[in-house]
Amino acid sequence: MKRLWVALAVTLVALATSPGQAHRVSTRGGPPPLGISIPSLTHGQMAVISDNLSAIRALASARIGFDMTTWRLEDYLNLQSFACLWGVVPGSIADENSPFNECAHAYLAAGRALLLQLRQAPGVDHNAVDALISKIEVEMLANGASLNLCRYSDEPFNTNEVIWPHWSEIPSHPPTLLALGAIFTLIAGPTIWLATRDRKLGALQSS
């Protein structure tokens, strides 16, 4: 529930303040420094990585050594997941036309890049990493994931660029509009009901 509150707050602020045409935003002012390039992944691979993302995060957080590349990829994964509302908006991953699909590509591509980096990072259980990579490869082959392409499948990402949802496209994408409306109702509905009830009780007590 807390995550839904934060997701709704970020959505409302972004809708009010972000320019509609700006999808990519540098995390720093001025010319962005050279970041780590992250290969994209196919539309089919996204679902497999999403299913295994918590396991990837667990392996990364359990490491006891320090590697700058690993740290930057993990940091970008966390930041990009936040920018994409953690994928909680329905259709973010499965629907190529979703305003949240590009940003979902970005954080899931970061998740895969982080997993591959863990193979050589110090202080990591490399046997566990290899086992997870093998598991993911089998799942991708079983689902034919590498064959399911979309318009963002050949688009590389970078740790110095945050990919935000396409806010201006939300009104023209009914599934996302309905989903955000449902989330707002789910969160705000009880609050409005309680506020209305308290006002009525106050009016009764004062009469």
Residue 113 pLDDT: 97
Contact between residue 121 and residue 63 where contact means Cβ atoms under 8 Å apart: yes
* pLDDT, averaged across the chain: 80
Residue with the bigger pLDDT between 191 and 45: it is: 45
Give the DSSP letter of residue 163. E
- Please write the tens of the pLDDT for every residue from 156-172: 899 999 999 999 999 99
In which band, very low, low, confident or very high, does the pLDDT at 16 lie, cut at 50, 70 and 90?
very low
In which band, very low, low, confident or very high, does the pLDDT at 192 lie, cut at 50, 70 and 90?
low
In which band, very low, low, confident or very high, does the pLDDT at 6 lie, cut at 50, 70 and 90?
very low
In which band, very low, low, confident or very high, does the pLDDT at 50 lie, cut at 50, 70 and 90?
very high
Residue with tokens 């190529």: 96
φ and ψ of 173, to 5 deg: -120, 90
* Phi-psi region at 30: left, alpha or beta (left = phi > 0; alpha = psi -120 to 50): left
- Rounded-to-integer distance, Cα 163 and Cα 179, Å: 20
Asked whether residue 206 carries a pLDDT value surpassing 70, the answer given is no
pTM strictly above 0.85? no
Asked whether residue 29 carries a pLDDT value surpassing 80, the answer given is no
φ and ψ of 65, to 5 deg: -95, 175
In the chain, % of residues over pLDDT 90: 52
Asked whether residue 198 carries a pLDDT value surpassing 90, the answer given is no
Residue 185 pLDDT: 76
